């Protein structure tokens, strides 16, 4: 029961934060996450928890997926692929945008 109450409290705080204006969210300490550079000198930063999660992944594939989700937003990942070539699955012949090469290189250097 205490765990459920704790979860409900966190949900309430999350809902309150969602109701704040964008300016209030930017000024809120809870919205500021410490970021770290993926690879020294790359200039590509991710939240600290993403880097920790990726570095503790069980496989290189899992590590890459976690980093991709930390570096790119979902919209970018949905409309892009690694090299910007025609998609083999969705709408044959549809060419997608390539992902940012600098960010991809930084992820590749993590291995």
Q: Is there a single domain that holds both residue 41 and residue 76?
A: yes
Q: Is there a single domain that holds both residue 28 and residue 41?
A: no
Q: How many CB atoms sit inside 10 A of residue 35's CB?
A: 14
Q: Is there a single domain that holds both residue 25 and residue 38?
A: no
**What is the span of the domain harbouring residue 95?**
33-111
Q: Is there a single domain that holds both residue 22 and residue 46?
A: no
**pLDDT, tens digit, for every residue of 68-107?**
999 999 999 988 988 888 767 766 667 889 999 999 999 9
- CATH number of the domain where residue 93 is located: 1.10.10.2590
Phi-psi group of 109: left, alpha or beta (phi > 0 → left; psi -120 to 50 → alpha; rest → beta) = alpha
Total count of domains within the chain = 2
CB 75 within 8 A of CB 82: no
Q: Specify the residue for token string 């880097």.
A: 51
Q: Is there a single domain that holds both residue 22 and residue 58?
A: no
The single-letter DSSP state of residue 110 is: T
Confidence of residue 9 (pLDDT cuts 50, 70, 90): low
6 pLDDT higher than 60: no
Among 106, 111, 86, CA closest to 98: 86
Q: Is there a single domain that holds both residue 27 and residue 38?
A: no
For residue 57, the Cα-to-chain-centroid distance in whole angstroms is 15
**pLDDT, tens digit, for every residue of 10-69?**
555 555 555 554 444 444 444 457 999 988 899 999 999 999 999 999 999 999 999 999
Q: Is there a single domain that holds both residue 24 and residue 66?
A: no
HSE-CB at 26 with a 13 A cutoff on CA atoms is 3
pTM of the model: 0.63
């Amino acid at each position: 029961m205490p765990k459920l109450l704790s979860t409900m409290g966190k949900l309430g705080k999350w809902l309150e934060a969602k109701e704040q204006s964008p300016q209030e969210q930017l000024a809120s300490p809870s919205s500021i996450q410490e970021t770290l550079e993926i690879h020294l000198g790359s200039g590509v930063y991710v939240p600290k928890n993403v880097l920790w999660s990726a570095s503790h992944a069980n496989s290189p594939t899992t590590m890459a997926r976690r980093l991709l989700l930390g570096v790119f937003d979902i919209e970018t990942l949905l409309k892009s692929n690694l090299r910007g070539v025609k998609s083999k699955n969705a709408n044959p012949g549809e060419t997608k945008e390539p992902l940012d090469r600098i960010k991809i290189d930084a992820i590749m250097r993590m291995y």
